[in-house]
Amino acid sequence: MNPAHYVFLAVILFVIGAIGVLVRRNAILIFMFVELMLNACNLAFVAFARMHGNLDGQVVAFFVMVVAAAEVVVGLAILMAIYRARRSASVDDASLLKY
Amino acid sequence: MTTLAASGVLRASWLLLAFPVFGAAVLLLGGRRTDKWGHLLACVMSLASFVYGVIAFFTLLGYAAPDRSRDQHMFTWIPVAGFQANLGVLLDPLSISFVLLITGVGSLIHIYSIGYMAHDTDRRRFFAYLNLFISAMLLLVLSDNYLGLYAGWEGVGLASYLLIGFWQFKPTAATAAKKAFIVNRIGDAGLSLAIMLMFAEFGTFNFTGVFSSVGHSGSGVTAALGLLLLLAACGKSAQVPLQSWLLDAMEGPTPVSALIHAATMVTAGVYLIVRSNVIFDLSDTARLAVTVVGAVTLLFGAIIGCAKDDIKKALAGSTMSQIGYMMLGAGLGPAGYVFAIAHLLAHGFFKAGLFLGAGSVMHGMDDEVNMRRYGGLRKFLPITFVTFSLGYLAIIGVPPFSGFFTKDSIIDAAWSKGGTDGWVLAACTIAGAGITAFYMTRLMLMTWFGTKRWEQEGVLGGAGAHPASPEPHIPHPHESALTMTVPMILLAVGSVAAGWFLIVDSRFASFLSPVVGSPPDSHGIFTVPGIIALVLVVGGVGVAWAMYGRVPVPAVAPRGSVLTAAARSDLYGDAFNESVLMRPGQWLTRLSVFFDSRGVDGLVNTLAATIGGTSARLRKVQTGFVRSYALSMLIGAVLLVAGLLVVRL
């Protein structure tokens, strides 16, 4: 199978994730779309690693997974704090820091 | 002239300054505690300076004529590399003459003020300022360099300001004090520029240093120095064009007018020019300017004096005129220096006596100054009348009174100058003598002779002139106390004898000659121009008698001719200053304010408003919504990637 197809799939997944981040208001969903984008990137890394025949992309994919896990922990903690303070998980409600 | 170090009793010449400084310090710092005896301390300090002055005078007389210039270094004022400002006391024939005049007349006026200011609650402050004035004036004439002279020059300006505005609750007095100070600043600027020019050109401002090197400098420098010094002299001596302050300065108490604005301070300009005789000898331009200023002022002041009904202002016009004579004399060079100073000394006596007489009249008339409300006072103030008359005979130049000798010496010196300018100057001085006789006779007749106008209906006086007399009422003229009459008698003796003593046998000329050079040989007592002047004097007296003696003087001033109206308003000196200097100055300030608020501020404000407005609009981009930030990040990332691709491809 042509590795280029995986790259196209990664692009499609990334775009879906980006659109999801932009249009959804629920913070948890936004998180999930972010994860989708990260995984699209992972897929692209792995595909490129395969195409070029070296392991660099695969190593980076592992890195991304670890960082994503850490990020989710911190992010969900913040989310919990916001939810407790505001009784809402909508990111539009947390818009105090503006002009 | 060589200057030698002081020795013997002259080493203590700093005492001259120390006495009045001590008096002023005690009275000013001691405050109300010194009220009881403050005036006595001030008199004693002034007299102490006078006594030391007399001792110093006779010590100087004991030396040979060329050795009479004695310098005593006091201390180094500003020691900086290349700039050594020393303060020293220079006693020479010129300065000792002034010392005797200042401390002698000054002490008499101190004593007079004890009586004159007896009812004033602030008498102590008055005496403190008088002592301050004496010390500053002595510093002016005793300093051995121009910087010390400048310090004294400013000191007398300050004392003059404080004393003109002594009754500062009167708005006119407060304004007059400010006017005197401000007009004097213009002259002071001339003096400071002259000192700077001296330092730039010669590297020193000691008299000896400047006078020894001025001969090597160009004619431009000497002319500039001379003209700057003349500007300074015009300010201090109330000469045209800086004359306007002197008439208003009569708002001060009368002893102040006598001491500062007649006998001593206003003659400082003449002193400055005579002291700088080496500079003026080298510059014909500067000397010509001095004579022109003198001639113009002597006529200017005399014409003003003819129309004033205020006795002090008439005398002030006369002071201007007499100082004009001195300036003219000083402008004639070595031929006139001696006579300028001789006239200055004689004038110090008779004008101080006249002012004190006027003060005595005002004292008896409840501070009324309008001569149209006087009349027939000779029976009520006999001593004042006699002393005043002697001063009058002295000022109009009747032989053998002092004004005759000194004024005629100046007239003769101008006459002998020759050439067109000599003729014009001599004509001015002779005409001035005639006008002087007219206005002084007018003053005499209006004050001492005629009907008692103060008793007439509707001529009540004295209202508001002084806190003691707030209501209009009929005054009860009376002779003044002994403290006031004795100084007047002594000054009258001076008015009678000073001219004869100084001029006959060229006593004063040979005394001053080491400092200012000798005038040409005297033409005798009665000279051709002197006799012409004497004829004009008789004419002036006659005209005045016809106008004010033969016919009764109206108690309210008639309208008068155009010339009278002009002279009453000081020949439009104030109007000129207002229209030519003050109003353009105001326009300039308004223009500057407009330029500042609209131009400079406008530019800055517009810039700030533009930036502020733009930011206020741009600020709206910060919505606080995560999605919009995310979108902008996405767009940024896409653009970045696209850019990289474009560059790469």
pLDDT digits 0-9 by tens, B478-526: 888 888 999 999 999 999 999 889 988 888 988 998 888 888 877 778 8
| Chain A, nearest residue to B617 by Cα | A99
Q: Is there a contact between B60 and B94 (Cβ–Cβ < 8 Å)? A: no
The Cα of A66 is separated from the nearest Cα of chain B by a number of Å equal to 23
The helix (run of H) or strand (run of E) holding residue B68 is none
CB atoms within 10 A of CB B302: 29
Least confident interval from A89-98, B258-267, B325-334: A89-98
On whether residue A93 sits in a domain, the answer given is no
Q: What is the per-residue pLDDT across B169-199, written as a single tens digit (0 to 9) for each?
A: 999 999 999 999 999 999 999 999 999 999 9
Q: Out of A21, A22, A96, whose CB is closest to B624? A: A96
Q: What is the pLDDT confidence band of residue B633, given thresholds at 50, 70 and 90?
A: very high
Which residue of B619, B625, B632 is the best one to mutate when testing the A interface, meaning the one whose CB has the most A CBs within 10 A? B625
On whether residue A97 sits in a domain, the answer given is no
Tokens 């300018």 identify what position? B421
Residue A52 structural domain: 3-86
Q: Out of A21, A22, A95, whose CB is closest to B623? A: A95
On whether residue A74 sits in a domain, the answer given is yes
**How does the average pLDDT of chain B come out, rounded?**
90
Dihedral, CA of residue B41, residue B44, residue B45 and residue B47, to nearest 10 = 160
Percent of chain B past pLDDT 90, that is, above it, reads 65
Question: CATH code at A48?
Answer: 1.10.287.3510
Contact B630 A96 (CB under 8 A): no
Q: What is the per-residue pLDDT across B335-392, written as a single tens digit (0 to 9) for each?
A: 899 999 999 999 999 999 999 999 999 988 888 888 888 888 999 999 999 999 999 9
Q: Residue B370 pairs with which residues in a beta bridge?
A: B310
**What are B118's two structure tokens?**
């007896």
Q: Is there a contact between B205 and B144 (Cβ–Cβ < 8 Å)? A: no
Q: Which phi and psi (to 5°) does residue A51 adopt?
A: -60, -40
Question: B426 pLDDT exceeds 60?
Answer: yes
Residue A53, CB-side half-sphere exposure with 13 Å CA sphere: 0
State the distance between the two ends of chain B, measured CA to CA, in whole angstroms: 99
How far apart are alpha carbons B49 and B18 in whole angstroms?
8
CB atoms within 10 A of CB B452: 15
DSSP H helices in B119-145: 123-142
Q: Give one DSSP letter per residue of B495-532, joined into a string.
A: HHHHHHHHHGGGHHHHHHHHHH-PPPPP--SS-HHHHH
Q: Is B635 on the interface with A (CB under 8 A)?
A: no
Residue contacts between A and B (CB atoms, under 8 Å): 30
Contact B625 A30 (CB under 8 A): no
- Residues in B closer than 8 angstroms to A98, CB to CB, are 622-624
Q: Residue B145 pairs with which residues in a beta bridge?
A: B206
Q: Is there a contact between B237 and B261 (Cβ–Cβ < 8 Å)? A: no
Contact B625 A21 (CB under 8 A): no
Q: Is B627 on the interface with A (CB under 8 A)?
A: yes
On whether residue A92 sits in a domain, the answer given is no
Averaged pLDDT, B238-263: 92
| Chain B, nearest residue to A30 by Cα | B627
Classify residue B33 by its DSSP letter.
G
Buried b / exposed e across A35-49, counting CB within 10 Å, b at 16+? ebbbbbbbbbbbbbb
Q: What is the per-residue pLDDT across B200-231, written as a single tens digit (0 to 9) for each?
A: 999 888 999 999 999 888 889 999 999 999 99
Q: Is B617 on the interface with A (CB under 8 A)?
A: no
Q: Is B615 on the interface with A (CB under 8 A)?
A: no
Averaged pLDDT, B455-460: 62
| Chain A, nearest residue to B637 by Cα | A18
Edge-first strand listing for the sheet containing B70-80: B4-5, B70-80, B83-91
How far apart are alpha carbons B402 and B404 in whole angstroms?
5
The Cα of B617 is separated from the nearest Cα of chain A by a number of Å equal to 10
Which residue of A14, A22, A90, A93 is the best one to mutate when testing the B interface, meaning the one whose CB has the most B CBs within 10 A? A22
Q: Is B634 on the interface with A (CB under 8 A)?
A: yes
Res B359: pLDDT: 93
How far apart are alpha carbons B238 and B229 in whole angstroms?
14
Instruction: Report the length, in residues, of chain A.
Output: 99
Q: Out of A21, A92, A97, whose CB is closest to B630? A: A21
CA-based diameter of chain B, in Å?
124
On whether residue A96 sits in a domain, the answer given is no
On whether residue A17 sits in a domain, the answer given is yes
On whether residue A8 sits in a domain, the answer given is yes
Contact B627 A96 (CB under 8 A): no
Q: What is the per-residue pLDDT across A60-91, written as a single tens digit (0 to 9) for each?
A: 999 999 999 999 999 999 989 988 988 888 88
Q: Is there a contact between B53 and B99 (Cβ–Cβ < 8 Å)? A: yes
Percent of chain B past pLDDT 70, that is, above it, reads 97
Q: Is there a contact between B543 and B447 (Cβ–Cβ < 8 Å)? A: no
On whether residue A45 sits in a domain, the answer given is yes
**Total tally of structural domains belonging to chain A:** 1
Question: B465 pLDDT exceeds 60?
Answer: no
- Residues in B closer than 8 angstroms to A22, CB to CB, are 627, 630-631, 634
Whose CA is closest to B322, among B255, B276, B232, B261?
A: B261
Res B464: pLDDT: 47
Res B472: pLDDT: 64
Q: What is the per-residue pLDDT across A15-63, written as a single tens digit (0 to 9) for each?
A: 999 999 999 989 899 999 999 999 999 999 999 998 988 899 999 999 9
Res B424: pLDDT: 93
Contact B626 A98 (CB under 8 A): no
Question: B463 pLDDT exceeds 50?
Answer: no
Q: Give one DSSP letter per residue of B623-639, joined into a string.
A: ---HHHHHHHHHHHHHH
Q: What is the per-residue pLDDT across B100-141, written as a single tens digit (0 to 9) for each?
A: 999 999 999 999 999 999 888 889 999 999 999 999 999 999
Q: What is the per-residue pLDDT across B267-310, written as a single tens digit (0 to 9) for each?
A: 999 999 999 999 999 999 999 999 999 999 999 999 999 999 99
Q: What is the per-residue pLDDT across B562-576, written as a single tens digit (0 to 9) for each?
A: 888 888 888 888 888
Res A94: pLDDT: 80
Cis peptide before B334 (omega within 30 of 0): no
How far apart are alpha carbons B178 and B184 in whole angstroms?
10
How far apart are alpha carbons B316 and B411 in whole angstroms?
22
Res B1: pLDDT: 59
Q: What is the per-residue pLDDT across B43-96, written as a single tens digit (0 to 9) for each?
A: 999 999 999 999 999 999 999 888 888 888 888 888 888 788 888 999 999 999
State the distance between the two ends of chain A, measured CA to CA, in whole angstroms: 52
